[in-house]
């Protein structure tokens, strides 16, 4: 086995498109999906005489991302020209940052290792740059098309330290990083739309050796699982090469997901190949200390902080310590029906999901019921429709009202599911739907007794066995009564009447 002899060393470069309306250095739209080459102008096409003007909003979002990742924001950073020739780079260079980036340092916590210690992946740097255009190879047979709409869209590049030792840790780092960026609201972070792209630098070295091996860079990965598979494939390729007496060459590789293998693209460039020099048309970016401080003070609540708060508010975790690093807090062991840490983890997957849950929980006063409905019925509808919870037709206040109707005995849980489906369909409030559909719970003993009698007559075999003492059939008969009453019968009264009949 390769892992018995070699160690994987990985550093990741994550390119993140910033959520701005216009491009980094011009007023062209950043809208995704526009017809090819319509969102262009002399500036992003690099035409003679056109001068770039830095997008202030891009600086704000890049700074927020840096602060949210614990980076040091440098008071002065320099834009540089990164020179290379490629069909989708109209100027022949990319405006980026080199030796004086926007931010340095920082880290991402990805959980605990097998010994229980926190695993932190360091961040080397976070810098601003503009995106290139897009080469399209499948539009015309035997030809490559170029769409320059993306050229000039503002990016940040987040470069990790070579701290990653397994493909699983690489996946954990990327998923955690994406979640933090979502909470910071700096990007759509959609790999499908190209607003988050990953390049992986990987080398191998014999176990116990301190010196790093020769690295290769793997590109063309369109999902986090693809990154993990590509790293495994390249790790095995490099190990086999070293075992055979060969030498790893520094080069850029493309991941072929269909064949589950990598293939060479070009010789890997070094920084000297790009002939970096300061961008002559842009002044140094100088950030006031107070401005940076204000940005830090206005950071939104991040995932770990939100998890800890929700555990304190709604959770019943096991005794011990929960959280990582500075977020670790002691928690008591309490019996009850609160949320487990795993359930809180699910709810905080995205900020929109967490916000919807919290609104329902606050309005209903029942965190567990809110969790059950949000993670059950709500997500089932969204998954089926492909919708977004931020624009879900059933507002949190209305779902909370539905939960209150169930808790107060106004409608049964069975009827509530029917009411919810009609709320999704019509947008009406639950009390109105329940009244219109005749789903208000019936507690009248005479009406319930009639339904019970009818069920016992219609299901003689189950009735005979139940009345003879087979108590486990009570739940089956309750279900029959609820179905006959269309969910209106009070289940508690149904059980009481059946218990009386069964002796």
Mean pLDDT of the chain: 90
Q: How far apart are CA 208 and CA 156, in angstroms?
A: 35
Name, in order, each residue with C-beta under 8 angstroms of 386's C-beta and a sequence gap of 6 or more: none
SS3 annotation, 209-225:
CCCCCCCEEEEEECCHH
Alpha helical stretches, state H, 395-459: 396-407, 413-426, 430-436, 445-458
- Confirm if 169 and 119 have CB atoms less than 8 A apart: yes
Map tokens 């924001």 to a residue. 73
C-alpha closest to that of 363 among 402, 416, 334: 402
State the SS3 of 353-413.
Answer: HHHHHHHHHHHHCCHHHHHHHHHHHHHHHHHHHCCCHHHCCCCHHHHHHHHHHHHCCCCCH
* Strand pairing class (216-221; 251-256): parallel
Q: Name which residue leads in pLDDT, 494 or 54.
A: 54
Phi, psi angle pair for 371, to nearest 5°: -60, -50
Answer left, alpha or beta for residue 409, where phi above 0 means left and psi between -120 and 50 means alpha. left
Contact 308, 322 (CB under 8 A): yes
What's residue 201's pLDDT?
97
Per-residue confidence band for 336, with pLDDT thresholds at 50, 70 and 90 = very low
Residues across the chain: 503
In a 3-state reduction of DSSP, which class is residue 81?
strand
Q: How confident is the model at residue 492 (pLDDT cuts 50, 70, 90)?
A: confident
Q: Are 353 and 389 in contact (CB under 8 A)?
A: yes
pLDDT 10s digits, 258-307 = 999 999 986 655 666 789 999 999 999 999 999 999 999 999 999 999 99
Q: Which residue has the tokens 């048309």?
A: 281
Judge contact between 308 and 329, C-beta under 8 A.
yes
- Residue 156 bridge partners (DSSP): 16, 128
Distance CA 496, CA 298 (A): 56
The candidate with the shortest Cα–Cα distance to 479, out of 502, 452, 503, 457, is 452
Please name each of the domains of the chain with its CATH number: 11-199+274-288 (no CATH), 303-436 (no CATH), 445-500 (1.10.10.410)
**Residue 171 CA to its chain's centroid (Å):** 12
Tokens at 485, concatenated: 């009453």
The proportion of the chain whose per-residue pLDDT surpasses 90, expressed as a percent, equals 69
* Ordered DSSP codes for 113-133: -TTS-EEEEEEEEEEEEE---
Within 13 Å and on the Cβ side, how many CA atoms surround 500? 10
Q: What is the pLDDT of residues 125-170, one digit of tens each?
A: 999 999 999 988 878 888 889 999 999 999 999 999 999 999 999 9
């Amino acid at each position: 086995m390769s892992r018995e002899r070699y160690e994987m060393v990985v550093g990741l470069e994550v390119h993140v498109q910033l959520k701005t309306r216009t491009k980094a250095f011009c007023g062209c739209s950043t809208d995704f999906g526009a017809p090819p080459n319509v969102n262009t102008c002399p500036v992003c096409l690099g035409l003679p005489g056109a001068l770039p003007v830095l997008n202030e909003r891009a600086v704000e979002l890049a700074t927020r991302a840096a602060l949210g990742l614990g980076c040091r924001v440098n008071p002065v950073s320099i834009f540089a020209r990164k020179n290379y020739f490629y069909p989708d780079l109209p100027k022949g260079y990319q405006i980026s940052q080199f030796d004086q980036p926007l931010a340095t340092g920082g880290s991402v916590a990805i959980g605990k290792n097998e010994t229980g210690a926190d695993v932190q992946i360091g961040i080397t740097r976070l810098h601003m740059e503009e995106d290139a255009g897009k080469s399209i190879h499948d539009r015309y047979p035997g030809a490559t098309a170029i769409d320059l709409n993306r050229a000039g869209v503002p990016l940040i590049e987040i470069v990790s330290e070579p701290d990653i030792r397994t493909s699983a840790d690489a996946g954990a780092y990327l998923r955690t990083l994406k979640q933090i960026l979502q909470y910071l609201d700096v990007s759509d972070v959609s790999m499908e739309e190209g607003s988050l792209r990953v390049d992986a630098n990987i080398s191998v070295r014999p176990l116990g050796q301190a010196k790093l091996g020769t690295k290769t860079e793997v590109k063309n990965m369109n999902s986090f699982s693809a990154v993990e598979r590509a790293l495994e494939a390249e790790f095995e390729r490099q190990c086999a090469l070293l075992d055979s007496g060969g030498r790893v060459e520094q080069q850029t590789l493309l991941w072929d997901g269909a064949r589950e293998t990598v293939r060479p693209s070009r010789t890997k460039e070094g920084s000297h190949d790009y002939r970096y020099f300061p961008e002559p048309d842009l002044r140094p970016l100088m950030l006031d200390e107070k401005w940076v401080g204000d940005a830090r003070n206005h950071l939104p609540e991040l995932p770990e902080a939100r998890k800890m708060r929700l555990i304190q508010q709604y959770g019943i975790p096991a005794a011990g310590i929960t959280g990582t690093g500075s977020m670790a807090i002691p928690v008591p062991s309490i019996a009850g029906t609160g949320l487990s840490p795993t359930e809180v983890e699910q709810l905080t997957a995205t900020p929109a999901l967490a916000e919807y849950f919290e609104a329902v929980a606050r309005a209903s006063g029942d965190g567990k019921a809110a969790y059950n409905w949000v993670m059950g019925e709500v997500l089932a509808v969204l998954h089926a429709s492909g919708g977004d919870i931020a624009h879900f037709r059933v507002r949190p206040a209305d779902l909370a009202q539905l939960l209150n109707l169930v808790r107060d005995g106004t409608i049964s849980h069975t009827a509530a599911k029917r009411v919810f489906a009609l709320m999704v369909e019509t947008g009406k409030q639950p009390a109105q739907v329940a009244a219109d559909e005749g789903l208000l719970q019936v507690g009248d003993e005479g009406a319930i007794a009639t339904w019970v009698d009818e069920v016992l007559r219609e299901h003689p075999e189950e009735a005979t066995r139940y009345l003879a003492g087979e108590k486990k059939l009570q739940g089956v008969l309750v279900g029959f009564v609820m179905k006959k009453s269309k969910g209106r019968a009070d289940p508690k009264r149904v059980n009481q009447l059946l218990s009386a009949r069964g002796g």
